[in-house]
Amino acid sequence: MGDTIALRLDPGDKIVGQILAVAEKENVTFASVTGIGGTDEAEYGVFDMRKKGYNRFACSGTHEITALTGNVNTMQGAPYAHLHITLAGADGRVVGGHLLRCVISLTAEIFLHTLPAAVDRTRREDLQINTWAFDAE
């Protein structure tokens, strides 16, 4: 669809793996990601600057994916996804953070809006994260 890839996920599909598979197949080197859907099994994290790692959280049971956002680019020539997720439980409680793992329970509708560029990532050892690498740096 022009510069946009529409992706439907089905029960049992894993968001991160499916996005990376499509990025590989379609040779996506830079894209923004948005989506919604449903899950009953997810893991997300919030980065802790002191320990330079993620505090990890898991949720199970019925949850709406009220927002999936992020980007896809490359790291060392392979597709790389940096995604955040917001989830609403059956009680209306909302949680979210850096997406680590999410299995679809019902469906997910995801858009990859490709950009006419190639942006690679590099490891920032001082922060213990992977950041965009621009040639001018």
Buried/exposed code over 17-49 (b: 16+ C-beta within 10 A; e: otherwise)? ebbbebbeeeebbbbebebebbbebbbbbeeee
Q: Which domain holds residue 46?
A: 4-117
The pTM (predicted TM-score) of the whole model is 0.93
Is 87 in contact with 95 (CB distance < 8 Å)? yes
Is 103 in contact with 39 (CB distance < 8 Å)? yes
In a domain, 137, yes or no: no
In a domain, 57, yes or no: yes
Q: Kindly state the tokens that stand for 118.
A: 């190639």
pLDDT mean for each 10 residues of the chain (137 residues): 96 98 97 98 96 95 97 96 97 97 98 94 91 73
In a domain, 48, yes or no: yes
What integer pLDDT is reported at residue 19 of this predicted model?
A: 98
Cα distances (angstroms) measured from residue 67 to each of 1, 86, 100, 108, 110: 22, 5, 15, 11, 10
Is 114 in contact with 58 (CB distance < 8 Å)? no
Which CATH number do you get for residue 91? 3.30.1330.80
What integer pLDDT is reported at residue 135 of this predicted model?
A: 66
What integer pLDDT is reported at residue 134 of this predicted model?
A: 79
